[in-house]
Structure 1
Amino acid sequence: MTQLYVGLDVSLEQTAICIVDQEGRVIFEGQATSDPDAIAEVLRCHGNLFARIGFEAGPLSQWLFFGLSNAGLPAVCIEARHAKAAMTAMNRNKNDRNDARSLAQLIRSGWFKTVHVKSQESQELRTLLVAREFLVNKLRDHENKIRGLLRPFGLKVGRVSASGYASRVRELIEGNSRLELCMEALLAGRASMMEQLANLHRELLRVTANDELCRRFMTIPGVGPVTALAFKTTIDDPGRFRRSNDVGAHLGLTPRQYQSGETDVRGRISRSGDSFTRTALFTAAHVMLTRSRQWTSIKSWGMRIAQRSSLKKAKIAVARKLAVDMHRMWRDATPFRWGAAA
């Protein structure tokens, strides 16, 4: 029996579908609503002999992957860079139909890299982290905007605590009715954001306090609730990495390399993978090397790198080391090993 391969070019409203056989001949081309049930209904009209049904990673990937998998269809999510390279090489003219055809041929050839689709729980916890981070950034922007609006009048907020920020602004604008009207509106928005941020932060602390793995991660100096939960939700399944050293490369914490003949150049870190988790690990490394007074073998190793190179490179190296050790702690269910004293 001839096995079939399907390429799906997914957009927000419509999905272009292309079905090819083992020889690469096009069996069907059409469209369906970007909904797992609608796509499955179209595919079932062509039998049940599908070897692979592929689509590139995107905002709807998780929903489509689990929807098609629950319908008994062999769905795979492929890396967007591989998909783009294939579509660019196969078709000079870009449109949804040609993209679906290129994806179908790519799925048939097997020359692609699959993307791990995170579990529903990991996606929900990730949403909690991103929503909290969004409010943190917007609150900072909000306060900077108030400072900027007052500066042309010679009113300088200066260094002030978060709790004393509003009273300091009101003190500066006292007696100016127009500025009071504007600043009170902005301060009311700031107060609302602070309240919602506090709600999300309490939920973050509750989740990490009730999670045994996060508590184990937080025994590492410098690793707090954000870093622990970010690492857990990004990795999702420690078994998908054969070696713990691969985690550093997955998070973009290893240097780029260009090697050809006698040329072998190593550059800066690749910055591939999840930027949020990479930043969180870098922050944890910064805290460990510059603020924490607890001495560990990782800190000792990082300080030696800082002495012979630079502190920034030491932080990157420690961040990569933290990713490797945290994966090993997760996979082997072992506690953090402090190592030798200073």
Structure 2
Amino acid sequence: MKQITRIAIDLSKGAFQLHAIDAEERVVLCRQLKRGQVLGFFAKMAPCRVGMEACASAHYWAREIGALGHEVVLIPPAFVKPYVKRGRKNDANDAAAICEAMARHSVTTVPVKTPGQQAVLMLHRARKMLVGQRTMLANALRAHLAEFGIVAPCGGKGLATLIALAVDAADPALPALAREALAMLAAQLRDAEAKIDALDHRIREACVTDEACRRLATIPSIGPITASAIVATVGDPRRFKTGRDFAAWLGLVPSQHSTGGRTVLGPITKAGDRHIRSLLVLCATGMLRYGKRSPWIAALLGRMEARKATVAIANKLARIAWAILAHGGTYRRQAGLNV
């Protein structure tokens, strides 16, 4: 077999499809391995370039195969899909598409995350799931109680009032069977809130011990949750040339549909990491609602609606965050320009 220059792996739980190319761009290997055979196979190979989609378990395999001396690249699935043969999707063709995408210099790769980065992001993912469950439970309680004519104002205080009514056995407004079901929902809601508080505390602890997180937390409206999410996701900030590139990576720039020299801008692209983008938009929303408005924000609101201004502020927060991560230091206010 000729020397392999690059090899692609189509990952799965148990069966891993390989597709290898030599220096003359000829296929020299196309086979399937079981999970337990993967590391042994690459341990016997001469160092080469290994590519895989940035999907579930990809970072683990990238670390393991990289430790064997290979250069591992992770490719976003969106850049692999154009090379999949139309109407002929299978594991072998998927691996061939990954191998083809590896040869394109314009394809953006995903940095391999460390176990520490993944651990911090797992805290964020667990918290996000619990927040969603809390919202579902709160909405369910409100909807069920409304069927019996019991309503309360929006917000935490109103919800607390409803929970008290739901578990009050002396209140005749609810049938016993309904109260039993609602008490279960209320208990689950309290449990979700306790777990969210525990995760918030753990994220704050991790932020305090991380120097980059502490520097990001000096930016107005950015707290430990947003700071730790950015640091854990971005890794090396210098892979972005400018802050604008970072904001574009997060999808906080307008989409384009231009032709014939005519520039047409649309809504934001919403590309990149949805979690960080939503956190930055929430930070910007809080700044508009509750923060002291700087001259820059006042001028922004003077020429666009509040929702557009929120995204513009989120874009600026992203640029500031990149500058602090890439060049060091902390946030410094500038007269007339500070957010």
Superposition TM-score, scaled by structure 2 size: 0.90
Q: 1:312 aligns with which of 292, 295, 307?
A: 307
Q: Note the 1:181-260 alignment, pairs <5 A.
A: 181-260=180-259
Q: Distance in 1 between matches of 2:317 and 2:103?
A: 39
1:19 touches 1:27 (CA, 8 Å); kept in 2?
yes
1:216 touches 1:336 (CA, 8 Å); kept in 2?
yes
- Return the letter of the residue paired with 2:332: R
TM-superposed CA distance for 1:138, in Å, is: 0.8
Aligned to 1:133: 128
TM-superposed CA distance for 1:192, in Å, is: 1.9
> Once the two structures are superposed, what CA deviation does each residue of 1:60-112 show, in whole Å capped at 9, x if it has no partner?
11011101001212211112111111114xx5411111222232333346563
Question: Does the C-alpha gap of structure 1 residues 321 and 108 become closer, same or farther in structure 2, counting only changes over 3 Å?
Answer: closer
Q: 1:112 aligns with which of 91, 107, 111?
A: 107
TM-superposed CA distance for 1:284, in Å, is: 0.9
Tell me if 1:10 matches 2:4: no
1:9 touches 1:99 (CA, 8 Å); kept in 2?
yes
Tell me if 1:154 matches 2:159: no
Q: Secondary structure at the match of 1:279?
A: helix
Q: Distance in 1 between matches of 2:237 and 2:142?
A: 45
- Return the letter of the residue paired with 2:259: S
Superposition TM-score, scaled by structure 1 size: 0.89
Question: Does the C-alpha gap of structure 1 residues 149 and 173 become closer, same or farther in structure 2, counting only changes over 3 Å?
Answer: farther
Q: Secondary structure at the match of 1:5?
A: strand
Q: Which moves more between the two structures, 308-317 or 160-169?
A: 160-169
Q: Give ranges in structure 2 of 5+ residues lacking alignment.
A: none
Q: Which moves more between the two structures, 223-232 or 171-180?
A: 171-180
Q: Distance in 2 between matches of 1:103 and 1:8?
A: 8
Aligned to 1:177: 176
- Return the letter of the residue paired with 1:263: R
% identical aligned pairs: 26
Question: Does the C-alpha gap of structure 1 residues 156 and 106 become closer, same or farther in structure 2, counting only changes over 3 Å?
Answer: closer
Q: Distance in 2 between matches of 1:110 and 1:340?
A: 42
Question: Does the C-alpha gap of structure 1 residues 58 and 157 become closer, same or farther in structure 2, counting only changes over 3 Å?
Answer: same
Q: Secondary structure at the match of 2:257?
A: strand
Aligned to 1:31: 32
Aligned to 2:58: 61
Aligned to 1:291: 290
Q: Distance in 2 between matches of 1:247 and 1:75?
A: 23
Q: Distance in 1 between matches of 2:288 and 2:90?
A: 51
Please, what is the CA RMSD of the aligned residues?
Answer: 2.3
> Once the two structures are superposed, what CA deviation does each residue of 1:127-174 show, in whole Å capped at 9, x if it has no partner?
111211211221121011011112222222444526555323334972
Q: Distance in 2 between matches of 1:310 and 1:106?
A: 41
Tell me if 1:329 matches 2:324: yes
Aligned to 2:46: 48
Aligned to 2:72: 75
Q: Distance in 2 between matches of 1:196 and 1:44?
A: 42
Q: Secondary structure at the match of 1:262?
A: coil
Q: Secondary structure at the match of 1:263?
A: coil
2:283 touches 2:314 (CA, 8 Å); kept in 1?
yes
> Once the two structures are superposed, what CA deviation does each residue of 1:283-313 show, in whole Å capped at 9, x if it has no partner?
11112222112x5xxx422321211121111
Question: Does the C-alpha gap of structure 1 residues 177 and 102 become closer, same or farther in structure 2, counting only changes over 3 Å?
Answer: closer
Question: Does the C-alpha gap of structure 1 residues 191 and 28 become closer, same or farther in structure 2, counting only changes over 3 Å?
Answer: same
1:55 touches 1:103 (CA, 8 Å); kept in 2?
yes
Q: Secondary structure at the match of 1:153?
A: coil
Aligned to 1:261: 260
TM-superposed CA distance for 1:251, in Å, is: 0.4
1:303 touches 1:314 (CA, 8 Å); kept in 2?
no
> Once the two structures are superposed, what CA deviation does each residue of 1:27-74 show, in whole Å capped at 9, x if it has no partner?
221111346xx22323455x4152x11111101110111010012122
Q: Distance in 2 between matches of 1:223 and 1:10?
A: 37
